[in-house]
Amino acid sequence: MLLENMIKLCDTLTPVENDIANYILQNKEKVINLSIQQLSETIYTSKSSIHRFCKKIGFYGFNELKVKLAQDLQIITKDKNIINVNYPFEQDDTQQMIADRLLKLYEITIRDTYNYIDLKQLSIITNLLHDAKIIDIYTHAHNLNPAENFQDKMLTIGRIVNCPKSFYNQRMNVLASNHEHVALILSYSGKASFILPIIKALYDKKIPIVLIGKAGSNLYPQYISRHLYISDKEDLRDRISQFSSHIALQYMLDVVFGCIYNIDRKKNIEYLHKTINFMDDRYDGRQK
């Protein structure tokens, strides 16, 4: 996981530690050549505060952080040379070049999303969704595609997933939900206008809420305590399309499905074998 991602996932930083983080992220190449004493003097912060910051995000000390920072710079430089997430292909690119660039975009996005996975959160969320009688997905626009794909996968193992599309149906679904339900919010930015009234109502009904979105998209931690983060490199507006966010969300939902599936693997395989003849309506040329 990149240092920047590690910092974003740490939600216990003090104002002083946030200042340290911001300086390091804005001056990466300079910081790797500084001693802890020099950094302390540059940002007018004590060495002990820098040590505490390093330990809080997972390092033994400042030297280990600098090694990680140097490694990250190599990765970031390489990725920038490979692809522009928002404009992955140029006007003069051939069709083969477009195919190649999108392949690289998908590889970078999935790797970045993988690096964001918090295994403890993933385990808790997997069990939460597995134990729910009904999963309700709340999302909109292009995120409906991966949502419905997840819904379809869950149906193949006999699990009920609701995916109300309209504003009206979403709110009616909230009103009809109970303790047997778990809510899954899908939003890249976490800023969609439908989210706040939905999660307030769910919270009041004590319905567990899970958010999947880019790092830092949980804008309502007072209502949402469970979240999985995906790659956050895509701009919200300045882009050709949602290439990166779409594949990142699809990947994360596939990971969640795979984890749920494996809890009852034998049972799910038996269910698939039992139902395949009814579900497969392809004509095989034989008389019935």
52 in any annotated domain: yes
- Helix (H) / strand (E) element for 1: namely none
- Same domain for 124 and 78: no
Q: How far is CA 210 from CA 101, 115, 122, 128, 136, in A?
A: 33, 19, 11, 9, 10
What pLDDT score does 16 carry? 93
Name the residue with tokens 């040590």. 51
Same domain flag for 149 and 232: yes
Mean pLDDT of 258-262: 98
Q: What is the pLDDT of residues 78-116, one digit of tens each?
A: 666 567 888 888 889 899 999 998 999 999 899 989 988
pLDDT of residue 149: 97
Distance CA 116, CA 105 (A): 17
- Please give the backbone phi and psi of residue 275, each rounded to the nearest 5 degrees, phi first: -100, -10
CATH number of the domain encompassing residue 157: 3.40.50.10490
The band of 183, judged by pLDDT with boundaries at 50, 70 and 90, is very high
pLDDT of the residue at 207: 97
DSSP code for 145: H
- Report if residue 19 sits inside a domain: yes
Lowest mean pLDDT among 8-17, 26-35, 159-168: 8-17
Instruction: For residues 143 and 27, give the distance between their C-alpha atoms in angstroms, rounded to a whole number.
Output: 35
State the total domains in the chain: 2
At 96 the pLDDT is 94
269-285 pLDDT, tens per residue?
999 999 988 888 776 65
**Last residue of some domain: 60, 82, 104?**
82
pLDDT at site 78: 65
pLDDT value of position 85: 84
Query: Taking the mean position of all CA atoms in its chain, how far away is CA 34?
Result: 33
Domain assignment present for 111: no
| Reported pTM | 0.79
**Percent share of the chain, pLDDT over 90:** 66
Q: Assess whether 35 and 165 both reside in one domain.
A: no
Q: Per-residue pLDDT averaged across 168-181, rounded?
A: 96
Do 14 and 135 belong to one domain? no
pLDDT value of position 22? 92
Per-residue pLDDT at 164 exceeds 80:
yes
The sign one gets for the Cα dihedral 41, 45, 48, 54 is negative
pLDDT of res. 236: 79
Name the one residue in this structure whose structure tokens are 């340290």: 20
Say if 283 falls within a structural domain.
no
Domain carrying residue 45 = 1-82
Judge if 57 and 179 occupy the same domain.
no
- Provide the CATH number for the domain around residue 64: 1.10.10.10
Minimal CA–CA distance to 211: which of 188, 232, 179?
A: 188
